[in-house]
Amino acid sequence: MNYTRQSKLNLFADNAQLIKKEFTWHSILAKRLAALLYAQAGKSVDCDAIRQCHVMIKQNTGVFSTFRGNMALCIAALLSLSSNPQVVFSKTLKVYDLLKSEKFRASDYLAVAAYQIAAQSDTSDYRKVVARTRSFYDGMKAQHFFYTGQDDYIFAAMLGLSDLDVTTGTERIEQLYSRLKSEFWAKNSIQALAQVLVLGKSDDSAVDRVLALRDALRAQKIKLDKAYTLPILGILALLPVGVDTIVRDICVLKDVLREKTGFGLLSVTSQELLLYVASIVASEYAESIKDEVLTATLSTSITNIIIAQQAAMLAAISASSAAAASSS
C-alpha cells in the first residue's frame, strides 16, 4: 500500500481521536471534518489554534451570525491552518458582505463560500469572483429551479473562482447533467457532479470515467454514487489514474479506516466513511500530477467538496433533530 496514503489515513484517525473530547457543543461530524482538513494538510490537529480562531470568530460576529452555525468549527480549522488567521477572516467577512449584496441568503454554506473566495483569490478580484459566482448560480437556478438552493453556494463559488466562461460553463453543466440524469437517482447531487466535471475536459470522457468507476466500485460492493459521495466520484474521474488502481486503493483504505477506533459501523455511516477515504485517495493522486495548475484545481476542489458534503450532512442532521424536537 502507498505509504503516503496510509500515513495520511493514520493521521486522520489520530486527529479524530485528539479532537473528539474538545469543543463539547459541536457535532462529531464537524470534529471529524476538522481532523480531516488537518490530515489533508499533513498536520496533527492543533486544538488550541482552532480554539483561538473560534474565539476570534465569536469576537468579530454577532450572536446570530451564520459564522457561529454548524460550520463554525470547520471555518475555525481552516483559519488556523492559514498563515494569518485574523487577516483571512477579516477578508472573509468582507466577501460575505459582497455575497449578501448580491442577494445570496445567509447560511452556513454562504459562510464557507465567503471563506473560499477570500482564501483563494486576490482582494482586487473579490467583486469579480462574487459576480461570477452569482452568474453561475443564476444559470443553474434557471435550469433547475427546485434542485438549486443554498447547498449549491459552495459549488457556485468554486466555479466563480475558475477561469471558465460563465455562459459556456453553464451550458456545459447542463449538457453533463442531461447525460448523467438517467444514471443516478439523487438529482441534486447529479447537478453537483456536473459542476465538478465541468472543471475537467470539455469532451465526454469524464462522464465515461464516472460510469466506469461507479460500475467497478459496485462490483466490489462499494456505493460511491449516493447523494453525499457522488461529487467526489467526479474528482476521481478527473484524475489521470487507472480505474482499477483507484478502486483497489479505496477498497483497501476503506477496510483499514473501518478498523480504526471511532470509525466502526455504529460510529460512522458507510457514506461518511467513503467520503473520507475517497478524499484521501483523490488528494494523494492530485498532488502527484506534474501539471501544477491541474494539481491546484483538483486539490482545492477536493477540499471544497468535502466541506460542502459535510455541511449537507450536518444540515440534514440538524433538520432531523429539529423535526424530532417539534414532534415531541
- Does 43 share its domain with 167? no
Q: Into how many domains does the chain fold?
A: 2
Percent of the chain at pLDDT > 90 equals 79
pLDDT at 94 exceeding the cut of 90: yes
Q: What is the pLDDT of residue 297?
A: 74
Range of the domain at 36: 1-81
- Does 293 share its domain with 179? yes
Q: What is the pLDDT of residues 242-261, one digit of tens each?
A: 999 999 999 999 999 999 99
Instruction: Answer whether residue 147 is part of any domain.
Output: no
Q: What is the pLDDT of residues 179-234, one digit of tens each?
A: 999 999 888 899 999 999 998 866 678 899 999 999 999 999 999 999 899 999 99
- Whose CA is closest to 311, among 73, 130, 129? 73
pTM of the model: 0.93
Q: What angle do CA 192, 193, 196 make, to 5 degrees?
A: 90
- Does 213 share its domain with 305? yes
